Each structure stands twice: as C-alpha cells, then as structure tokens.
Structure 1
Amino acid sequence: MTEIHSGQRVAVLADAQNLYHTAQSLHTRNIDYSALLEKAVQDRQLTRAIAYVIRAESPEEESFFDALVDIGFETKIKDIKTFSDGTKKADWDVGMSLDAVTLANHVDTIVLCTGDGDFSRLCSHLRHEGVRVEVMAFESSTAEELIDEADTFLDLNDRPDTFLL
C-alpha cells in the first residue's frame, strides 16, 4: 500500500447522488463539498476532482453544479431516465469506474466519495494495479465490502460539523 506523502498525485471521484441521499436521510443536511475535497486531497497534489451528478430538472440544481465547479470539481452530468412505468433511474457506476481505471496510470491515490458497494470490485482492481484507494462516506450506509476493499475509510459521520452544511 502506498503511504500518504506530499508529492502524491490524487484523484477525487464523488458520487453526488449517493452522498446527497445519505446526508439527507441521516442528517437532513447537505454535503460540504469544499470540506470534502480539502480532506480528500490532504495537502497532496490534486490531479483531478470529478463530481458525478444527476440532472432531475430541480430549480436549484444548476446553481449546485456551478458551485461544484467553483470549488474545484469537474462535473459530469447525466439526465435522469423515466421509464414508461413511471420508474426513474440514474447512476454513474460505470462512468465512475471507467474514469477511475483510466486515471489509475496517472495518479498514486484515488479517493472514492461513495458508500455504494458496487465499487468494491473497482477498489480491488485499483489496488492490484498499485493505486492507493481511500473511501469517504457515511459508514452506517456504506457497504461493508467497500470498506474492506479500501486502503482507508473515513466515516463522514465522525465529523458532521465539518462535512455537512
């Protein structure tokens, strides 16, 4: 496992949908993405920060997307899909995974900001490729297999006044 050092190149991939729903259900608050990014980078060299967001035609979402950019995130936006039976679906699992695999040759560490267990296999792959994997999420809603596969896990619930607005 690569240890943390000041010259370390870091990519931060934030699953905004996962973080939003968890923060709302646990605390009825929003994520402080500025604090999240600052902690994820920890005085290392930020190579890329990407926030994966869903456009759901909500009135305040464009200002949220703009705020993410102002903080230092690149936003990748996907429109929510509504099916004929009325169900809705939108996730970035494949996109985040492809970006992580692509970035693996250019960074020393990838910080995944999500609790989604679908990323546990990605963690295993990245670690096999020599990339340090850190996960930041709310432990109470994070898949155990994701925590187990990461090099480190930071529970956002331990410092709600830092990571929540």
Structure 2
Amino acid sequence: MKKIAVFADVQNIYYTTRQAYQKQFNYRKLWQKISAQGEIVCAYAYAIDRGDNQQQKFQEMLRYLGFEVRLKPFIQRSDGSAKGDWDVGITIDVMELAAEVDTVILLTGDGDFAILLDKVNSKFGVTTEAYGVPKLSAKALIDACTEFHPIETDLLIG
C-alpha cells in the first residue's frame, strides 16, 4: 500500500477558496479522496492561531479527521501589517518525511513550494501532488508537481 504524507497550508487554502468560490474547502472530502489512494502515514495542517472560538472548532475537526494541527501565533506588527506563514516549517517537515513515504501531497497554491517539490522528487524519488485553486495557483507549483489536483466545487462545502 502506498504511504502518503499530507501537508496543508490552511491559510492559503482558506483564502484562495474563499476568493475564487466564496466557499470553504472540505477537508473531510479531501481525506476520503486521499485515503482511497493509500495509507496516510502523517498529515499536518499548518495554521495561525488567533484564539477565536470558530477557529478552535475548525482545528478540532481537523484533528478528528487525523491531521496534526500545528499553530503559530498571529503577530500584529506596530505598522498594522501582520505576520504568520508556515513556509519554512512546512519545508522542514516535508524534507524530514519525504524519505519515509511514496507520495508527498501539498495543499497550497503558493509557488514558493515549487523548488521544494522539485527537490524531494529528485532526491527521494517520491511522487509529488498539489491541491490548489487553479486560477490562484502559481504556474511554477503546477509545473513542479507530479500531479496537480484543481480544487473545484467537488472539494468545497455547500
């Protein structure tokens, strides 16, 4: 059975599905789809912790599905801008786990991850897949992965 590792850039998926479809991503449907392809040996969901009740319920749902939720605090800078992305953390986890699995699945449209997918594919020989909103996913990311899965209405709530 194929061993699969899943890495979800929660903020990227939330904002791109909201912008493109005005709907939320359905992690339950995604989990069912991926688990039909093999054994999910690890799944991480990377999010920013704002401490609100709605967000905590969402994080509990992710845990119930089987994700390990990794949180960073929301940082509001004095100039009004905000900081909080997981790019380095996701990259470290992918590099550490890629040798142990057959497939690395990344949920993001962020083109910064293209070089990561190229690297783990060439170094470890893993299949790399990405899920992203087609019109909001970087061409570099789409080109770098073995298979790109467009997030469309079948993976949305409502």
Question: Partner of 2:56 in structure 1?
Answer: 62
Q: For structure 2, which runs of at least 5 residues remain unmatched after alignment?
A: none
Per the alignment, residue 97 of structure 2 pairs with: 103
Matched, 1:156 2:151: yes
C-alpha displacement at 1:124, in angstroms? 0.6
Supply the RMSD in Å over aligned alpha carbons.
1.0
User: What letter is aligned with 2:150?
Assistant: D
- Percent of residue pairs bearing the same amino acid type: 34
Structure 1: where are the runs of 5+ without partners?
Answer: 1-6
| Superposed displacement of residue 81, structure 1 | 1.1
Structure 1 residue 27, shift from structure 2 partner: 1.4
Partners of 1:39 and 1:138 lie apart in 2 by 17
User: How many pairs align?
Assistant: 156
Q: Of 136, 141, 148, which residue of structure 2 is paired with 1:146?
A: 141
Aligned pair 1:72/2:66, yes or no? yes
Amino acid at match of 1:69: R
- Which residue identity lines up with residue 130 of structure 2 in the other structure? V
Alignment-derived partner of residue 117 in structure 1: 111
| Deviation digits for residues 33-90 of structure 1 (CA, Å, limit 9, x no counterpart) | 0111222333301110111111123331111110100111110011111111111011
For residue 69 of structure 1, give the secondary structure of its aligned residue in structure 2. Answer: helix
Point out the more displaced range, 125-134 or 36-45: 36-45
The answer to whether the 8 Å contact 2:45/2:70 transfers is yes
Are the equivalent residues in 1 in contact too, given 2:132–2:151 (CA < 8 A)? yes
Give the SS at the match of 1:43.
Answer: coil
Q: Return the letter of the residue paired with 1:32.
A: N
Q: Secondary structure at the match of 2:99?
A: coil
* Counterpart contact for 2:13–2:108, Cα < 8 Å: yes
User: Distance in 2 between the 1:60 and 1:13 partners?
Assistant: 22
For the Cα contact (< 8 Å) 1:40–1:111, is it kept in 2?
A: no
Instruction: Name the SS of the counterpart of 1:140 in structure 2.
Output: helix
Partners of 2:97 and 2:57 in 1: CA distance = 28
- In structure 2, what is the Cα distance between the partners aligned to 1:46 and 1:57? 28
- Deviation string 1:63-118 (CA, Å, 9 cap, x unpaired) is 11101001111100111111111110111100000000000111011000100001
Whole-angstrom CA distance in 1 between matches of 2:132 and 2:33: 12
